[in-house]
Amino acid sequence: MFVKSVMPRFVKNSRGRRSIEVELITYEGRFRCSAPSGKSTGKSEVACYHKKGISYSMKMLRVFCKRLVGKNFIIKDVGGLKDLNDLMRKFEARFGKFGGNVWYAVEGVFLRGAAADVGKELWEFINDDMNRGLKPKMPMPVGNCIGGGLHSKKIKGKRPDFQEFLLVGNAKSFGKAVTKNLRAYEYARTLLKKKEKGWRVKRNDEGAWMSSLANEEVLDILKRVSKRYDLKLGLDVASSGFYDKGYYIYKNKSLVRDKVDQADYMIKLIRKFGIFYLEDGMDEEDFGGFKSLVEGVKKIRRKVLIVGDDLTTTNLDRVRRAGRGKAINSMIIKPNQIGSMLEVKKVVEYCKKNKIVMIFSHRSGETMDNILADYCVGFGGQFMKAGIFGRERLVKLKRVMDIEKSLKR
């Protein structure tokens, strides 16, 4: 793949903040990739940008990109990014870290160019099963329906403590599941209007409805919604956001829980509301607490996903620790958390070997790029968490739907 031109630029994400997009021109065409940014981030995530900020990362990137022009890269699979990675690391050794978001955009655009160079779609280029003549199984969508926590503003001085109240697709096809999620999302608005006096239509960073209701009041609404549309119910508790010195500080109804109380409460909610998906139910350093959740759901006679995100941060060392300790049975994969697709590939291989369910996830500050969909399908993710409403979310859902349609031809 001969590099004719590489040009970085600033773009705005869904929160109206600057992000980085990289455009690559080869003999096969013009390719672009832009990076998302998270607001709720784990302590173990790599930094988004250089310690001096996004502007400094851009200055570095402009210099680096000029050095790539005229080079020929042989990239036959994800592992073929090694030469590009080596060049980036040598540059970082002199000038400091680019940041995970820069790596995301650079690697993404080169993967798109490499796929086109061999006449393949990106998901197809990534997918090992396709090389054996097997069609990939489509993921199911996970969407944020009602929001709280760091992603939402307070209404009347309150908001739910939990960050995301989720709907999990349950249908024969990804497209049908997306349609059900959208209809359920609108029904949730109707129920919120009835439940909360003076409620006005307001959406948060991820396009989810905002509310002043307490956690269990929201879960009551979502349980009704999920039953009506035959969907599964999920929660991203993001408990590290309200954890402090050994205690979980709930503000909506002013109460405090210790570690044992928190684990018991999570299991109680799973039983009471039929929750299928529970993400970050304990603090990001509490591997033992996560293990107690896994053990707790074994007594429930149905499958429940205990999902690590801030706990694992797409970091192979932390994923191995969680896997060996049986602290999770599923995990979030966000490529810019770790800053290298080679590391993401290692995490994917570990998950497949150890039967850990993979959920490829967007971030709260998203762009119009849909590469997440290709990563999810290509790597064999069982779920894709990409919201329900908003153009930056819908473009990713549409991409999976387009892939699904192409496989039926």
Torsion of CA 192, 195, 198, 201, to 10 degrees: 0
Is the pLDDT at 89 greater than 90? The verdict is yes
Which burial class, exposed, middle or buried, applies to 314 when counting CB atoms under 10 A from its CB (0-12, 13-18, 19+)?
buried
Q: How far is CA 117 from CA 26, 57, 70, in A?
A: 9, 28, 16
The predicted-structure confidence for 256-289, as pLDDT tens digits, reads as follows 999 999 999 999 999 999 999 999 999 999 999 9
Q: What are phi and psi of 221, to 5 degrees?
A: -65, -45
Q: How far is the C-alpha of 233 from the C-alpha of 214, rounded, in Å?
A: 17
Residue 125 lies in a domain: no
| Helical (H) or strand (E) element with 194 | helix 174-195
Q: Check residues 187 and 196 and name the one with the higher pLDDT.
A: 187
For the chain, the average pLDDT equals 94
408 pLDDT band (50/70/90 cuts)? confident
111 pLDDT band (50/70/90 cuts)? very high
Residue 201 lies in a domain: yes
- How many CB atoms within 10 Å of residue 360? 29
The predicted-structure confidence for 228-261, as pLDDT tens digits, reads as follows 999 999 999 999 999 999 999 999 988 999 999 9
Average pLDDT over every residue of 368-380: 97
- How many CB atoms within 10 Å of residue 63? 11
Q: How far is the C-alpha of 234 from the C-alpha of 231, rounded, in Å?
A: 10
Question: Does 71 lie in the same domain as 178?
Answer: no
Question: Could you tell me the CATH number of the domain that includes residue 286?
Answer: 3.20.20.120
- pLDDT number for residue 199: 87
Q: Where are the alpha helices (DSSP H) in 248-370?
A: 259-273, 287-297, 316-324, 335-338, 341-353
Average pLDDT over every residue of 156-184: 94
Q: What is the largest CA-CA distance in the chain?
A: 63
- pLDDT number for residue 129: 60
Is the pLDDT at 134 greater than 90? The verdict is no
Which residues face 72 on adjacent strands?
2
Question: Does 194 lie in the same domain as 170?
Answer: yes
CB 177 within 8 A of CB 166: no
Question: Does 11 lie in the same domain as 47?
Answer: yes
Question: Does 202 lie in the same domain as 69?
Answer: no
Average pLDDT over every residue of 156-178: 94
* Inter-axis angle of helices 287-297 and 259-273, nearest 10: 30
131 pLDDT band (50/70/90 cuts)? low
CB 367 within 8 A of CB 36: yes
**What are the structure tokens assigned to 124, written together?**
């197809």
Is the pLDDT at 130 greater than 60? The verdict is no
133 pLDDT band (50/70/90 cuts)? low
Average pLDDT over every residue of 307-330: 97
Q: What are phi and psi of 147, to 5 degrees?
A: -115, 160
In total, how many domains does the chain have? 2
Q: Which domain, by its residues, includes 343?
A: 130-408
Type of residue at 13:
N
Q: How far is the C-alpha of 48 from the C-alpha of 34, rounded, in Å?
A: 13
213 CB-near residues (< 8 Å, 6+ apart): 158, 160, 192, 195, 196, 221, 252
Question: Does 213 lie in the same domain as 313?
Answer: yes
Q: How far is the C-alpha of 259 from the C-alpha of 402, rounded, in Å?
A: 44
- pLDDT number for residue 132: 60
Average pLDDT over every residue of 354-369: 96
Q: How far is the C-alpha of 314 from the C-alpha of 166, rounded, in Å?
A: 21
- pLDDT number for residue 152: 86
Question: Does 136 lie in the same domain as 103?
Answer: no
The predicted-structure confidence for 32-72, as pLDDT tens digits, reads as follows 999 998 776 767 889 999 999 999 999 999 999 999 999 99
Percent of the chain scored above 90 by pLDDT? 87
Question: Does 307 lie in the same domain as 218?
Answer: yes
Question: Could you tell me the CATH number of the domain that includes residue 62?
Answer: 3.30.390.10
From 120, 155, 173, give the residue that closes a domain.
Answer: 120
Is the pLDDT at 367 greater than 80? The verdict is yes
Strands 383-385 and 18-26 come out as unpaired
CB 306 within 8 A of CB 276: no
The predicted-structure confidence for 11-38, as pLDDT tens digits, reads as follows 999 999 999 999 999 999 999 999 998 7
Is the pLDDT at 119 greater than 80? The verdict is yes
Question: Does 104 lie in the same domain as 139?
Answer: no
CB 325 within 8 A of CB 356: no
